[in-house]
Amino acid sequence: LDRLDPGASGAYHMPMSLLLRGELDHRALKAALDRLVARHESLRTTFELHGEHPVQLIAAADSGFALAEQDLRSQPYEQASLSASRIADSEVAAPFDLRQGPLIRGRLLRLADDEHMLLITQHHIISDGWSVGVLINEFVALYQAFSQHQPDPLPALSIQYADYAVWQRRTFTGERLAEQADFWREHLGGAPTLLSLPTDRPRPALQSYRGGAVPVTIDATLYQRLERFCQAHNVTLFMGLLSAWSVLMARLGNERDVVIGVPSANRGRTETENLIGFFVNTLALRIDLAQNPSVAQLLEQVRQTTLAAHEHQDIPFEQVIEALQPPRSMSHSPLCQVALSLDNTSIGGELKLPGLSLHPVLQAHETAQFDLMLILGSENGTLTGVIEYASDLFDRATVERFAQHFHTLLEAMVEDVAQPVLGLPLLSPAQRLASPALLQPKAVFASGLMVHQRFEQFAAAHPQNIALVFGGQEVSYQTLNRRANRLAHELLAQGVRPDDGVAILAERGTQMICAVLA
């Protein structure tokens, strides 16, 4: 991907910001970061192509951590904080060179005598979400020891990431690899290659990976109800969330067969638990809603699907794609365009060190690997997170509505497991009360006219009003009506008569609407 589309790299940058308050020991901080690089080979790995094959190159253990420092104390504190935010954004956006490295870098900003911000950015090729937790925990332990002039307290690692990679290649070959590939061929065979969500703009030919994020909060009351609900129906919290998310995606995309991407930690071996590296694997979970199952039936389907997928999680997602050979497009992700992650690796709130406190700082999401990705984690008795979205496709307000729909779906699911999932409400009671006033059904439907007749009536009365907006194109009622009539006459000339069934094959756009009205 880095060769095909260098601009895509930014979607795989992993930023982390820590606000450090108190008396910072610069020597201990730099020593702790250097030790992390020496301890984990992944943090000093680069990649080169030998022919068509990528090869890992591991730098010397004493190569050190690339840390830049910047003093902002000459600015007023509020201005320094704004500058720090801008610098953090630029750090995330700055590209990595996979060949030259390093693929982890840091910048220490001094905002005041007793306040610093530590920015660390990694490339996803050497790290994952679990690794962030490992990095934070080990940094805290090392800083604490070094600030008190004590030796490295961490136990030696029994393996490095390269050892795991060799073991994986040796283990997952032949029959074992073929068996897992066969499972995914059967599981995903015939699945839709693209989930056509209702976007605000046409999908561009080249995925830009530009994104945004809308916050999502499941309050303590609903969170507790959801946990009890999942326990009562023998599913995990993740399975309950996946059930609701798959229903929402199906309803939004008007699709009864949906594929949701799910990241799996893929750390089954105990030796990998304290390693920094790229272990995570994407599982493409296919959910079938064709028979409009009840909530209880959907939960059981999701449970079985999830368990079966985890039994076959060892084959890398890239090899699943190779096995299925789906139509490839630079405009969207293969196999799944929507995803769900329940993150259990959050570093949480304030961390204490001798004379120092560490506060995680949230950074703005400006990239997106998927069209939509729901990311949730538990914090202070609530479920919080974001919906990451591709900003080429969606406006923020649209995704905010999706977040409201998801909350409403969860509330409805826990009320009655006998409900058919395709009938679950997407609108809250307050929104449903407002809907009749917005739709004005009596004014629209009292005449008893059919839709196309009502359209023609309105077009005659308001010919210059805008009927359609698609991309940068605007179409008036008069123009749309003329196009629809012209197409209707062409169909009549082909022998089509009233009440004949006519299939419509068209991309989303003005021509599709013309065909419906014809």
Q: Is residue 196 part of a domain?
A: no
Residues 44 and 119 in one domain: yes
Q: Is residue 495 part of a domain?
A: yes
Among residues 108, 128, 156, which one ends one of the domains? 156
The pLDDT of residue 345: 61
Count of the separate structural domains present in the chain: 3
Residues 124 and 232 in one domain: no
Residues 423 and 399 in one domain: yes
Q: Is 443's pLDDT higher than 50?
A: no
Residues 417 and 326 in one domain: yes
Q: Classify burial at 250, counting beta carbons within 10 Å of its beta carbon; exposed 0-12, middle 13-18, buried 19 or more.
A: buried
Least confident interval from 138-152, 382-396, 467-481: 467-481
The stretch 294-299 carries a mean pLDDT of 98
Least confident interval from 135-149, 153-167, 321-335, 439-453: 439-453
Is cis: bond before 204, omega within 30 of 0? no
CATH of the domain at 413: 3.30.559.30
Write 346-352 long-range contacts (CB < 8 A, 24+).
346/133, 346/377, 346/378, 346/379, 347/132, 347/133, 347/136, 348/379, 349/379, 349/380, 351/136, 351/140
Q: Model confidence over 391-407: pLDDT tens digits?
A: 999 999 999 999 999 99
Least confident interval from 151-155, 176-180, 290-294: 176-180
Q: What is the pTM of this model?
A: 0.82
Q: Is residue 390 part of a domain?
A: yes
Q: Is 6's pLDDT higher than 70?
A: no
Residues 281 and 409 in one domain: yes
Instruction: Give the range of the structural domain holding residue 395, as residue numbers without chain letter.
Output: 212-346+366-439
The pLDDT of residue 437: 47
Residues 128 and 269 in one domain: no
Q: Is residue 177 part of a domain?
A: no
Residue 165 CA to residue 162 CA, distance in Å, equals 5
Q: Measured on CA atoms in the order 281, 267, 146, 102, is the torsion positive or negative?
A: negative
Under 8 Å between Cβ of 515 and 504: yes
Q: Is 35's pLDDT higher than 70?
A: yes
The pLDDT of residue 445: 47
The pLDDT of residue 354: 84
